[in-house]
Amino acid sequence: MVKATIIDYLQTECTALIAAHDKLLTQPRNASAVHEQRVGVKKLRAFFALTDNIPHLSFKHSRYLNKLRVLQSIAGIARDAQLQSRALTTIEKQEGWRFSYAHFLLQERQEVAAELLTTASKRLKPGTLKEVPGVFRQKLEKVREETLMEELLAYIDSQYREIASPDVRAGHAAWHEVRKQMKTVFYQLTILQPILPPEPHYKQMLAYSKRAGELLGGWHDLTVLHLFVQDTIRKAKKESMPVPVKAMRLLKTLRQNAQEELALSAAYLHKKSLD
């Protein structure tokens, strides 16, 4: 049952990644395909980080993931620009003003990313992904299933326990690392979700890691957008372009929003330390 669940998950994610790749070949600006490509690689990385802990399982996944990491990086540029443009528009509506220069730069990033995705998708064809589930299944068949669930859950439990909330004054890198750890735990629990033990502990872990990831994701997006607007203002000044007062007010709003999201994230993560 455990083996079948693992293989089914791998097959589903590989199929979704191949479909996203095929769509990006002809529609490099397709937002859903860009998102699927980026998240799909993250899910596979979390999958193999989990299955690497299966005793006596010998599966060299790097040859499959190395090419996909390139596509993931490019998709990240496109996805970030899409999300930033959307978030910026939402905040601008509240401010009653549009920072046209920032939107121009974001549009330019999306255009460059689309060209890179088209080129990379043609050169880095992930056709070998089709063989991954079959090859992995053959390797997994040689592993005993009796203690498999116990071993996988023990690993996830240890990873979850090691996640510690940084000080609210800690830098971006520290909080971003916690965000990645939470996402990984959530993905790994999702792999085993159909067969998780009935104990409330695992349902709580799943719900907690999902919510923590969402909160930290909101903070991260606002922080990145704040840094982008800050850099845009700096570039405008360097080119001797007039910077409207409203642009500075927008920057202040973004900073405040990011700080509020971080405070919410910190408060939520504090609950984990109390459990």
Count up the domains in the chain and report the number. 1
Axis-axis angle for helices 100-123, 62-95 (nearest 10): 160
How confident is the model at residue 71, as a pLDDT? 75
Taking phi over 0 as left and psi of -120 to 50 as alpha, with beta for the rest, 50 belongs to: alpha
How confident is the model at residue 170, as a pLDDT? 82
How confident is the model at residue 127, as a pLDDT? 65
How confident is the model at residue 32, as a pLDDT? 85
Q: How far apart are CA 274 and CA 100, in angstroms?
A: 46
How confident is the model at residue 43, as a pLDDT? 94
How confident is the model at residue 180, as a pLDDT? 94
The pTM of the full predicted model, rounded to 2 decimals, is: 0.88
Domain that holds residue 131: 2-274
Q: How far apart are CA 257 and CA 261, in angstroms?
A: 6
Which CATH number goes with the domain that contains 87?
1.40.20.10
How confident is the model at residue 172, as a pLDDT? 86
How confident is the model at residue 95, as a pLDDT? 81
Q: How far apart are CA 74 and CA 42, in angstroms?
A: 13
Within 13 Å and on the Cβ side, how many CA atoms surround 27?
11
Give 10-residue mean pLDDT values along the chain (275 residues).
Answer: 93 91 82 86 93 87 78 80 89 86 88 81 72 89 86 94 84 91 96 91 93 94 92 88 87 93 91 63
